[in-house]
């Protein structure tokens, strides 16, 4: 080899050596850092930084040991899951620092209550777990839970707020409900959810029925996801009738789900699932668009003017960009806002009354009508009722059902009618099934009614036939009648818009 080439080769070897050494050093350094960091990461995982309680990782180890002890001693052992109710609302309303302080104080209070040997851990944001002590003389899990409920009757004082906290609990027992911690934990969570769906602040022991109904619910949820795509949802329409003139004022759009295997699934079964899963946002938008398009088809076919009313769920009202969706649905159907009425419940409006007022004012100034549905079953602030741009209160059908036999219901209906009229709102009675009920409502001064006495909700074609039959006897409403809002606050008339 010639001299220069030898020199080049030596230099290359030195360069490669230097790079290799640098890479080797870097790798060693990284490994050293990683080894150094390990205990910190490990301890973070084993202990919750906020409360100092064992985390899921640490709890799994304790549970495995407890299960082994319970097995060899031939005694039962409990896994209790506690879920803090409304933690998200507390965080939203009072800030995360207050929420964090609450969790710290709550875990201290729980620790002080528990028997020695019971293990308390934090599984997630609002979820705690208790591993019951194994052995004779152990306090039964349900007694521990009752003690926790009692201890939580005392509110937590944080930064000048007195915060009341409730928890839901679910209990699973080894070996009866499962052989491993994983199974026991899932079953305790199932029991907790089953209790929560009935009442916040309650506890349940796991039972097999709970898993069955949860599986059934999950299956229904999966089917519901396909329902819109597969065209299984339909809207039926129920007339709302003017009591004085007998004329049909509007049509309430009500969802119907015809499942290919399950058959008819009632809204009261699937709407709560749609709300819980957030599916109601897409379903609700579909309903709104479909109802507006239906009204456009009816108007184009020469049907005299009618208003269509659509039920809105609380989630749609709070989460979706409701005003934009309403505008787009009206625009696509080329429908004036006065043809649309939205039905909301008291709880969805009052949940955040200030924000609701802003959205409703926007919709009302556009000319959309607003009704409060199922009035009398929820909680309304009278001062807000006065300030909201409402058109109508709909008296819940539970008050109409026994109107003829129950003087209490008469008193309630009378009070709602008088309240509505003094707020200058219209009032509609729901669930009118007999002529006697209708006559009584007329005497009490109710403006409109809805119910099987006139017609149940029917498919669009049947609704057209119904209107033809009813309208044959009475003069139709004019478009100007339809477009005028009743709201005292943002009175809209076609003239005022012009």
Which residues, in sequence order, are bridge partners of residue 54?
A: 47
Stretch that binds Mg ion, among 68-76, 194-202, 414-422, 425-433 (CB under 5 A): 425-433
d(CA 102, CA 165): 9
Q: Which does 457 bind (CB under 5 to 8 A by kind): Mg ion, ligand C2E, none?
A: ligand C2E
Q: Which does 254 bind (CB under 5 to 8 A by kind): ligand C2E, Mg ion, none?
A: ligand C2E
CB of 309 to Mg ion, least distance (A): 7
Question: Which one of 18, 26, 452, 459 is in contact with ligand C2E (CB under 6 A)?
Answer: 452
d(CA 195, CA 305): 48
* Cβ-contact 446, 225 below 8 angstroms: no
Closer residue to ligand C2E (CB): 180 or 347? 347
Closer residue to ligand C2E (CB): 182 or 234? 234
Within 10 angstroms of residue 458's Cβ, the number of other Cβ atoms is 17
What is the distance of C-alpha 338 from the center of its chain?
A: 29
d(CA 410, CA 441): 9
Closer residue to Mg ion (CB): 173 or 344? 344
Q: Does 451 bind ligand C2E (CB under 6 A)?
A: yes
Residue 238: Cβ-neighbour burial (10 angstroms; 0-12, 13-18, 19+): buried
DSSP symbols for 300-313: HTTPPP-EEEEE--
Within 10 angstroms of residue 149's Cβ, the number of other Cβ atoms is 15
CB of 388 to ligand C2E, least distance (A): 19
Q: Which does 417 bind (CB under 5 to 8 A by kind): ligand C2E, Mg ion, none?
A: none
CB of 310 to ligand C2E, least distance (A): 6
Q: Does 266 bind ligand C2E (CB under 6 A)?
A: yes
Q: Does 341 bind ligand C2E (CB under 6 A)?
A: no
- Residue, CB closest to ligand C2E: 451
Question: Which one of 48, 343, 391, 447 is in contact with Mg ion (CB under 5 A)?
Answer: 343
Can you point out the beta strands (E) in 266-406? 307-311, 340-345, 369-375, 392-395
Q: Which does 239 bind (CB under 5 to 8 A by kind): ligand C2E, Mg ion, none?
A: none
Question: Which one of 265, 287, 299, 429 is in contact with ligand C2E (CB under 6 A)?
Answer: 287
The CA-CA-CA angle for residues 133, 136, 141, to 5°, reads 45
CB of 48 to ligand C2E, least distance (A): 39
Q: Which residues of 155-167 are buried (b: 16+ CB within 10 A; e: fewer)?
A: ebebeeeebebeb
Q: Does 373 bind ligand C2E (CB under 6 A)?
A: yes
Closer residue to Mg ion (CB): 186 or 240? 240
- Could you give the C-alpha distances from 413 to 38, 40, 363, in angstroms and in order? 68, 65, 28
CB of 454 to ligand C2E, least distance (A): 9
Residues 91-110 that bind ligand C2E (CB under 6 A): none
Q: Does 376 bind ligand C2E (CB under 6 A)?
A: no
Q: Does 346 bind Mg ion (CB under 5 A)?
A: no
The residues, ordered by sequence, that sit 6+ positions from 469 with a Cβ below 8 Å of its Cβ are none
Which region, left, alpha or beta, applies to residue 231 given φ > 0 means left and ψ of -120 to 50 means alpha? left
Closer residue to Mg ion (CB): 91 or 250? 250
Which residues, in sequence order, are bridge partners of residue 121?
A: 129
Residues 40-69 that bind Mg ion (CB under 5 A): none
Residues 295-324 that bind ligand C2E (CB under 6 A): 311-313
Stretch that binds Mg ion, among 180-188, 295-303, 337-345, 477-485 (CB under 5 A): 337-345
The residues, ordered by sequence, that sit 6+ positions from 487 with a Cβ below 8 Å of its Cβ are 364, 369, 370, 389, 390, 391
* Cβ-contact 384, 419 below 8 angstroms: no
CB of 271 to ligand C2E, least distance (A): 5
Q: Does 268 bind ligand C2E (CB under 6 A)?
A: yes
Q: Which two tokens stand for residue 22?
A: 């640098």
Q: Does 373 bind Mg ion (CB under 5 A)?
A: yes
Residues 299-328 that bind Mg ion (CB under 5 A): 311
Residues 413-442 that bind ligand C2E (CB under 6 A): 430-433
d(CA 332, CA 23): 63
Q: Does 224 bind ligand C2E (CB under 6 A)?
A: no
Site for Mg ion, rule CB under 5 A: 311, 343, 373-374, 430
Site for ligand C2E, rule CB under 6 A: 238, 254-255, 266-268, 271, 284, 287, 311-313, 343, 373-374, 397, 430-433, 450-452, 456-457
């Amino acid at each position: 080899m010639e001299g220069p080439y030898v020199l080049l080769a030596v230099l290359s070897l030195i360069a490669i050596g230097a790079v290799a050494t640098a890479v080797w050093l870097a790798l060693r350094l990284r490994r050293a850092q990683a080894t150094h960091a390990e205990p910190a990461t490990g301890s973070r995982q084993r202990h919750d930084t906020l409360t100092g309680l064992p985390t899921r990782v640490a709890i799994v180890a304790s549970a495995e040991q407890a299960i082994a002890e319970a097995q060899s001693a031939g005694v039962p052992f409990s896994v209790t899951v506690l879920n803090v109710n409304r933690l998200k609302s507390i965080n939203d309303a009072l800030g995360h620092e207050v929420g964090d302080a609450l969790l710290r104080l709550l875990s201290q209070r729980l620790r002080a209550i528990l028997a020695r040997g019971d293990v308390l851990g934090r599984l997630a944001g609002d979820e705690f777990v208790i591993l019951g002590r194994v052995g004779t003389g152990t306090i039964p899990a349900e007694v521990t839970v009752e003690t926790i409920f009692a201890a939580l009757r005392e509110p937590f004082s944080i930064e000048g707020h007195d915060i009341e906290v409730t928890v839901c609990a679910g209990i699973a027992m080894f070996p009866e409900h499962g052989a491993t911690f994983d199974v026991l934990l899932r079953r305790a969570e199932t029991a907790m959810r089953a209790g929560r769906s009935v009442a916040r602040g309650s506890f349940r022991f796991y039972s097999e029925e709970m898993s069955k109904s949860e599986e059934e619910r999950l299956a229904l949820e999966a089917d519901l996801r396909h329902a819109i795509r597969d065209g299984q949802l339909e809207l039926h329409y129920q007339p709302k009738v003017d009591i004085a003139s007998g004329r049909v004022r509007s049509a309430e759009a009500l969802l119907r789900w015809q499942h290919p295997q399950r058959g008819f699934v009632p809204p009261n079964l699937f709407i709560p699932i749609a709300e819980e899963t957030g599916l109601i946002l897409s379903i609700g938008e579909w309903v709104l668009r479909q109802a507006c398009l239906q009204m456009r088809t009816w108007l184009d076919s020469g049907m005299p003017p009618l208003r269509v009313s659509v039920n809105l769920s609380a989630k749609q009202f709070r989460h979706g960009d409701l005003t934009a969706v309403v505008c787009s649905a009206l625009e696509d159907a080329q429908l004036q806002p006065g043809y649309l009425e939205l039905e909301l419940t008291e709880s969805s409006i009052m949940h955040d009354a200030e924000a609701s007022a802003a959205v409703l004012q926007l919709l009302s100034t556009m000319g959309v009508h607003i009704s409060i549905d199922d009035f009398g079953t929820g909680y309304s602030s009278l001062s807000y009722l006065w300030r909201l741009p409402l058109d109508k209160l709909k008296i819940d059908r539970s008050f109409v059902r026994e109107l003829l036999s129950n003087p209490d219901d008469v008193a309630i209906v009378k009070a709602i009618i008088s309240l509505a009229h003094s707020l200058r709102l219209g009032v509609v009675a729901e669930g009118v099934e007999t002529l006697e009920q209708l006559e009584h409502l007329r005497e009490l001064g109710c403006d409109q009614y809805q119910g099987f006495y006139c017609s149940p909700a029917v498919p669009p074609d049947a609704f057209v036939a119904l209107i033809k039959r009813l309208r044959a006897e009475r003069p139709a409403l004019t478009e100007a009648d339809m477009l005028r809002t009743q709201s005292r606050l943002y009175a809209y008339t076609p003239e005022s818009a012009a």
